[in-house]
A and B are shown apart, each in its own frame.
Chain A
Amino acid sequence: VRRILFLARAEVLHIVRDRTTLAQVLVVPIVQLLVLVNAATFVIRDTPTYIVDHDRTSASRGLVNRLAASGHFRILERSASLSRANDALLEGAATLVVTIPRDFESSLARTGRAPVQLVVNAEKGSAAGIVLSYAGQILDRYSGELGRELHPAATIAGGWLHPAATIAHPSPGRGHPRIETRTRGWYNASLDYRHYMVPGILVALVTLIGTLLSAQNIAREKELGTLEQLNVTPLTRGQFIAAKLLPLWVLGLFDLGLGLLAGKLVFDVPMRGSLLLLFVAAAIYLLVALAIGLLISTGVDTQQQAMFVTFFVLNVYLLLSGLFTPIDSMSPWMQAVSQLNPVRHFVTISRAILIKGAGLDEVAPPLLILCGFAVVTLTLAVQRYRKRTA
């Protein structure tokens, strides 16, 4: 054990002495956290909207006002020209075009129904669907208002609700069968994307530090030829690897703490569950991340290759982890493949603990899978690492 600690001390000195590595370990994660958490968001804010109003009645104006007042839409321009609306859409100036037909008001009064065309620029991906559902929500609420004006006794379908709200939505009218729907969005009532991203980005940072540093570290020793010198020492393979990885393991946990602190101070993210449990999970997960780095380093000759391969592996891992886009949306076979991705399991654990306040019971399945990964990858790494091949 003393030998391990001695070599570990040498490693720590190496890391502290090298400015680039130190910056990589301390500054880069925090900067990444701050930038990524703000940038990695699908939040929808004032959608630029073009209004084509063929009707120009009080009903159509009322609709436009409701859209503008909702805060979700920013009215770019209104005219009766479809071609100008089309131009705005093609240029990318407008995301949504709302077309109100000529007989909008009269048709509402006569038949109680009128169409409104919503054309959304689907380039925006998932935002497009949400924009439509916000618009639908406003249309519904507005039909409710109009209904009360036109047929005071009539009931109307309840409107769409913001999930944050827990407002009762009673349908007016007495005696008719009606459903009073309340809605609740659990865990993130304010719909703040940053609260969702911080626990995920923290995982990415821990992964990056663990895998990249361990891959680079051993590759550097190989490149410099100092691995040869270590080979003639009485250290065993296991001792050597333990000494190499121990400082990085501590560093990874330290970075997690740093990131959590930054998340708390800067973004005020909720931390509902036990931090101790999170650190235990992180300790296990880091073993996997470090072992993967070690595995990479055994397969490459230079630091450059180590970095390149690490980058490639992490890229795939992070994209398939559900960090940026939900696992549930992936195609079924991709979901099955992602079970083989340790990052996925730790992202699940981190979010469950921090956002949902899950305890050991709830995170036990992914945690057990991580333990399995740790055993397999560490064994593989130690076996594949041959002192003499260096």
Chain B
Amino acid sequence: VSALWGLLRKETLHILRDRRTLTVLLLLPVLQVVIFGYAIRTDVKDVRLAVVDPSPDFATLRLRGRLTGARVFRVVAVLPDAAGLERLFQTGAAQAALVFAPGFADDLGRGLPARLLVVTDATEPNTGVTIQGHVLSVVQAFERELPGRPGGVRIVPEARLRFNPTAESKNLFVPGLMAFVLTIISCLMTAITLTREKETGTMEALLVSPLRPWHIIVGKVAPYLVVGFASVVGVIVEARLVFDVPLRGSVTLLFAEGTLFILVSLALGVLISARTSSQRVAMTAALLGTMLPTMILSGFIFPVESMPRVLQYISNVVPAKWFVAIARGIMLKGVGLEYLWTETLVLVAMALVLLGAAARSFHERLE
């Protein structure tokens, strides 16, 4: 055991000595929380609206007033004709345009259809749909209140956003961010530190020392576990204090599931190091094989249901996908194991298979 302590001390010193890597390890999560809190959002607000009004009259002015009164819109240009519209859209100066037909108020007064064209920049489809929805709802409300209209039938939708009532993207990212940070630290760093011993040839020295194989793994991995846990706690505390992200479920369960996920990532890191011979290859493999899938295929940023079927199937082998589902369940929905047992079982199975494989590949190297 004292040999194990020695190894642990050595590894800790290694980590503390490489200041640049340590800085990145500690800074990355903190910065990510800020980025995701303020930048990774999808809410549509402050829409830049261009108005094409060939013959301004009381009706067009009132409708324009309604739109600017809705606070979602900001009129950036009022044009007499549609000629300059395309340029406004191409430079991004306008995101939507309201094009009135000439004689709008006259048509309304005479009972003829008053013509209106709503143009939206649909380059980003969801933003386009959302902006159009906002414009149309204002136009429809305006139309309903026109004098001389009989009342129609209306089904009134009462919308409720469950689990994230303010629809704030920041509440969604923290669980994903935890998966991300844990993957970097437990998988990437483990793979690198083990391959470094291989590359420098010191692995042989470790193997002939009285240390048992599991001593080596524990000794190499435990310090990174501490760093990993520290960053996760940091992420949660920062998210709670700065962004007021909810944590509705059991903290104990969250940490237990976190540990499970760490085991899976560690096993993956050990496996990668067993199959590769240089730090560079290990790093590339870890980045492409675990980091990218964690970011892209876990549902962290992009919902899994939106992907094509093939990618949805592939996403099932990404451990982070299951952990993100668990962490969101605990933090946002406040549910316990009774709803999360499937995801937990998948992670347990992954942990068992991967740890077994990792232990085997490590033993093979002894011969």
Contact = CB atoms under 8 A, between A and B. Distances in A.
Given A184-B120, A305-B21, A357-B90, A328 B95 contact: yes
A122 B165 contact: yes
Contact of B124 (A135, A196, A304, A348): A196
B17 to A, nearest CB: 12
B280 interface: yes
A45 B311 CA distance: 15
Contacts of B316: none
B367 interface: no
Contact of B150 (A125, A153, A305, A320): A153
Interface string B103-117: 000001101011111
B302 A42 contact: yes
Contacts of A91: 339
Contact of B158 (A28, A118, A181): A118
Interface in B1-37: 18, 20-21, 24, 27-28, 31-32, 35-36
A174 B111 contact: yes
Contact of A44 (B111, B284, B306): B306
B302 A182 contact: no
Interface string A333-361: 11000100000000010011001111101
Nearest to A365: B91
B162 A132 contact: no
Contacts of A32: 292
Contact of B90 (A41, A113, A352): A352
Interface residues of B, number: 105
A119 B284 contact: no
Range class of the A interface residue count: 35 or more
Interface in B259-299: 279-281, 283-284, 287-288, 292, 296-297
A189 interface: yes
Interface string A304-322: 1101110110011001100
A325 B41 contact: yes
Interface in B181-226: 192
Interface stretch (A140-148, A240-248, A369-377): A140-148
A171 B142 CA distance: 14
A39 B296 contact: yes
B143 A183 contact: no
Given A90-B333, A191-B125, A119 B162 contact: yes
A365 B87 CA distance: 13
Contacts of B41: 325, 329-331
Interface string B33-61: 00110111111111100000000000000
Interface of B: 18, 20-21, 24, 27-28, 31-32, 35-36, 38-47, 87, 89-92, 95, 108-109, 111, 113-130, 132-133, 136-137, 139-140, 142-144, 146-165, 167, 169, 172, 192, 279-281, 283-284, 287-288, 292, 296-297, 301-303, 305-308, 311, 325, 328-329, 332-333, 335, 339
22 contacts: A40-B302, A42-B42, A45-B306, A119-B162, A122-B161, A122-B165, A123-B172, A133-B129, A136-B157, A140-B140, A151-B152, A179-B108, A183-B117, A184-B120, A186-B119, A312-B27, A315-B32, A319-B36, A329-B42, A334-B38, A356-B123, A362-B87
